[in-house]
Structure 1
Amino acid sequence: MILMKEKVIIIGAGIGGLATALRLLNAGYEVVIYEKEDKVGGRVNRIQEKGYTFDLTATISMMPQEFYLLFEELGLRLEDYIEISYPKSLYYTFFKDGTYYDFSTDLIKLNRQLESISTKDAVGYFQLMSDIYEKYQLANQAFLSQSCDQASSFFTFKHLKEIFKLEPLSNVYDYVSKFIKDEKLKEYICFQTMYIGMSPYDCSSIYTLLPGVSQFYGLPHLKGGMYRLVEVMEQLIKEWGGIIHTNSLVESLVIEDKCVLGIQLSDRIDKGDYIIANAQVPYVMHELQSIIRPKEYHLSCSAFILYLGLKQKLPMLNIHNIYINQAFKENIQSAFDGKLPKESSFYFYVPSRMDEGMAPTNGEVINVIIRVPNLKAQNVEWNEQTILLLKEQIYKALAQVTKIEHFNELVEVEKYLTPVDLATHFNCYEGIAFGLSHDLTQTNYFRPHHQSDDLKGLYFVGDCTHPGTGISLVLKSARQLSKQICKHI
């Protein structure tokens, strides 16, 4: 029997909060979670309408080993709770000029596709992947899987030497160009680095790890969508004695002498030994306290997501797809320059190609995700005109890709999510979709620490902490924080 130890209060029931709760319950802590929305999951949520099921935001399961590791360290088997399958192709990639590439997980098929571009680029692609794989193993062991809260453990000669092996000062595009000459192949690789909310022309070459780990480990699909993971985690928390309060907005932190003792709710105060914020660091420091002057951070961009329920199957599509428009650099840079793209390049997700339960018979679900400026952009208003502009770009591109002229006539369900929705429903500071920017001044030790530097008793977990954004990295964040708290006993 596990004896209850100290009390942990978690603000927010996103993936980071749920994973931390499970780990601390397993270690014997009393855990109470407060979630402002009516269901758990945070941005890893879903929409259901007329038999269509849409993942709200997260759709890509990079570094799937982190999913397995969480369950393994809890003494469980992921496979006993969730059915997981692997697509045969990573991405179907469509270009404005009609070019189409299938990036298969099968080595022979992949090589055939690359050789159709050029033999030199096929060689270059495999050399690039080899280089990325070596860097990934180094980064994962030295940084991604280790806490970077302590300067003494981060600023060592060994660590500094390893950092320079990763070539952090080169940007993604320039690094990829050392191996690849074909512009379309470069754009395909560079596009994937935008999953952390940065431009491949600005962010460090370290983030080529994103297309690399996809090629190495695949992009597994969780049957029922990403929210299935949330459902299982919620079930386990309740079975293990954790308490989850939904529709419970935390109004402020309870602070005495720069020590966080609890949280203020609308009708009461709840106190605990550890207060963990699974909310973005800037939001917590700007909205939940007034003792410490909030730091200014570089922010990621945001996203516009269009959800479409279609009354026709689309066999020409993969579960994961990329559409690359003309003027690639100009249009993806626009999200970081405070402007809307004139001709969007975007990722689109069609889970019903593998998971028929996510759509009615002979139907299809599509999530289209476009990078757009966050709410700091002064010249973008999220009104009907802006939404219509982006929808028209998407429908035009999908009509081209599917060769269905009146594509919009297939739509039975249409919904969308804007940066305003991210800010309103999920407390995303300035509507950012990817946490803090991942520039070099905000990575590793320089990213907000799991244990607050300013307020004793306050801890953070999620995409604004080390190692960064994305479900797998947030699971790493939860693991590092849980270890840190357990060491206090």
Structure 2
Amino acid sequence: MKKVVIVGAGLGGLAAGIVLAKSGFHVTIFEQNDHVGGKMMPVQLGDYPFDFGPNTITMPAVFRRVFEEAGEKLEDYLDLIKLEHHTNNYYMDGSSFAMTTNHDEMMKQFEVLDPHAEVSYSDYLEEVKFLYETAEQHFFYRTFSSWTDYTNLSLLKALLQVRPFETMDRFHRRYFENENIRNAFNRYATYIGSSPYVSPATFALIGHLEMTDGVYYVKGGNTKIAAAFAQVFNKLGGTLHTNCKVKEVIVKDKHVQGIKIEGNEKVEADIVIVNGDLLKAYPALVSEENRPHFSNQKIQSYEPSISAYVIMAGLKERNSNFIHHQVYFAQDYKKEFDELFIKKQLPTDPTIYICNSSYTDRDISPGDNLFMLVNAPAVTPGQERDNEGYKEVIYDKLKRFGVDISSQLAVEKVVTPNEIERKFGSYRGALYGISSNKKMDSFLRPSNVAKDVGHLYFAGGTTHPGGGSPMVTISGLNVARLLKERYSDE
């Protein structure tokens, strides 16, 4: 059976490794960090644990499928908790809006805040369900390796049905007249690292996941998903090396021969899967002369998604105003995205997301464990941005909402976009690979199959089907399925 080397133990690499190991391939994964899961990284500050990402779990069926492919049950490894009332949204005018899968509770709020939405919300739920089901059927579980893959008539019909030429903001305007409420739904664009005023309405499908299917949390921390994947991979006979950086994918006569790790040790392989940010990993591992279809110039033509300025803060007390998820919005939401993508600067009035997983999982910390995230522009090449005073911008804004962090601090750690770029090998610190602000980049993401190098494949958020934990997991499943079809008889 073929020898497979996977570069990177993110969710995509682990998912691919599990399926291929179960199918009899000899699979070895090399991970440069001391943890698995990529950005799904556990952080421990004293007595306070944090999930660096993701803090919101949707599409649990995707993770369940990985366990089922291995002949295992998700419930034997993970305790998924559904959060019915999952996000509180707060605004500068003093109003608030709670997002919940409880339809009656939503209607009660609309009755007071947005009578138009009270009438249109059921239509909204039907439309986002259609968007999701169409995308799931026609896009998610496909591997696009050439332009001919896009000429399928049923696929083209589906593409036109998912509102590719309408922006997310315009889509939401039909259903929500209250600007504050509309901004709560427009925030879904940030889940793919993009702007709701530019990215396609297609991604409004996230509303189906959060408002119908539900938002979840894994007891003990969402990073347990990656740890469980690694456990299953090892159980199937796969080999996993952490703290081991791959320096090069060895290419000869336009085909992979293996990899070279630190110390110049060579590892032979018939197939290599690169599970990392394609815009960063591909040029780092393969010389430009061996990838003419993915030149350095082409890489620079892509717009990276937003990055993040993160504060992880453990508080001495528990605060009654925090639930699991909360968002404190900017006064002018559109201005925030102009600053991020046009001026390429940290927002002067940031929207602040806070996760307090100890609200749901009380035993994990002695007080609130706040993961605070502000959208940040991608790193400008060669520039180390001075973010020294930005923490106070965040804390001062929260004080205006009646949230005083500084006086309660027990532990604290700040993570900047430059640190994200270094730690995770993400192109310009982008959290979700390529942004979806351009129509081409929304639907024609880089292929999972290398055009110039035989037996080289890609999984992760930069490739199809996109960013976010479920999508990168699907990318790994898609690549594994393709390899099984091509090589399982050899």
TM-score range, shorter chain: over 0.9
Q: 2:267 is matched with which residue: 246, 250, 270?
A: 270
Structure 2 Cα separation of the partners of residues 28 and 105 of structure 1: 42
1:329 matched residue in structure 2:
334
Distance 2:279 2:230 in 1: 26
Q: After superposition, what is the alpha-carbon deviation per residue over 1:20-57, rounded to whole angstroms, capped at 9, x for unaligned?
A: 11111111111111111122221111111221000112
Residue 80 of structure 2 is aligned with which of 78, 81, 84? 84
More displaced 10-residue stretch of structure 1: 218-227 or 434-443: 434-443
Residue 135 of structure 1 is matched in structure 2 by: 131
> Partners in 1 of 2:381 and 2:260 — Cα distance?
32
Question: What is the deviation of 1:443?
Answer: 3.6
Which digits, 9 at most, give the CA deviation of each residue in 1:380-423, with x for residues without a partner?
Answer: 7433xx2322x12221233333x24x431101111021111122
Residues 264-297 of structure 1 show CA distances to partners (whole Å, capped at 9, x for unaligned) of 1122111101101011111123211212233322
| Separation in 2, partners of 1:93, 1:191 | 11
Letter in 2 for 1:277: V
Shift of 1:76: 1.6
Residue from 209, 223, 226 that aligns with 1:230: 226
Match of 2:356 in 1: 350
- Which of 374, 377, 384 is the equivalent residue of 1:373? 377
CA RMSD of aligned residues (A): 1.6
Q: What is the CA–CA distance in structure 1 between the aligned matches of 2:69 and 2:173, rounded to whole Å?
A: 40
Partner of 1:195: 191
Matched residue, 1:388: 389
Q: TM-score, normalised by structure 2?
A: 0.94
CA distance in 2: counterparts of 1:357 and 1:149, whole angstroms: 47
1:400 and 2:391 matched:
no
**SS of residue matched to 1:146:** coil
Report if the CA contact (8 A) 2:114-2:176 is conserved.
no
Between 141-150 and 179-188, the greater mean CA deviation after superposition: 141-150
Three-state SS of the structure 2 residue aligned to 1:108 is: helix
Match of 1:483 in 2: 481
Aligned to 2:38: 42
Q: Distance in 2 between matches of 1:219 and 1:88?
A: 7
State the alpha-carbon separation in 1 of the partners of residues 52 and 392 from structure 2.
Answer: 21
**Percent identity, aligned pairs only?**
27
**8 Å contact 2:311–2:371 — kept in the other structure?**
yes
Q: CA deviation at 1:156?
A: 2.0
Distance 1:204 1:118 in 2: 24
CA offsets per residue over residues 100-126 of structure 1, 9 Å max, x none? 111222111111112111322222233
**Does the CA-based 8 Å contact 2:18-2:232 persist in structure 1?**
yes
Q: Deviations over 1:407-449 (max 9, x none)?
A: 31101111021111122111111111111122321244x2111
Q: How many Å separate the matches in 2 of 1:456 and 1:359? A: 49
Contact 2:260 2:266 in 1 (8 A): yes
Secondary structure of 2:478's aligned partner: helix
The runs of 5 or more residues in structure 1 that have no matched partner are none
Give 1:75-474 correspondences, 5 Å limit. 75-267=71-263, 268-290=265-287, 291=289, 292=291, 293-294=295-296, 295-296=298-299, 297-337=302-342, 338-360=344-366, 363-376=367-380, 381-383=384-386, 386-389=387-390, 391-401=391-401, 403-404=402-403, 406-438=404-436, 439-444=438-443, 446-474=444-472
State the AA in 1 paired with 2:431.
A
2: CA distance, partners of 1:443 / 1:95 = 30
Letter in 1 for 2:349: E
Structure 2: state its 5+ residue gaps.
Answer: none
* Residue correspondences, number: 476
1:263 offset after TM fit, Å? Answer: 0.9
Q: Which whole-Å CA distance do the structure 2 matches of 1:455 and 1:387 have between them? A: 43
Distance 2:35 2:184 in 1: 36
Contact 1:261–1:457 (CA under 8 A) maintained in structure 2: no
Tell me the distance in 2 between the aligned counterparts of 1:284 and 1:395: 35
Alpha carbons 1:347, 1:368 under 8 Å: kept = yes
Secondary structure class of the residue paired with 1:86? strand
Letter in 2 for 1:222: V
Asked if the contact 1:339/1:377 (under 8 Å) is kept, the reply is no
TM-score when normalising by structure 1: 0.94
- Shift of residue 377, structure 1, vs aligned partner: 6.8
Q: Shift of the alpha carbon at 1:257?
A: 1.7
The CA distance in 2 between the partners of 1:97 and 1:119, in whole Å, is 19
SS at 2:169 equivalent: helix
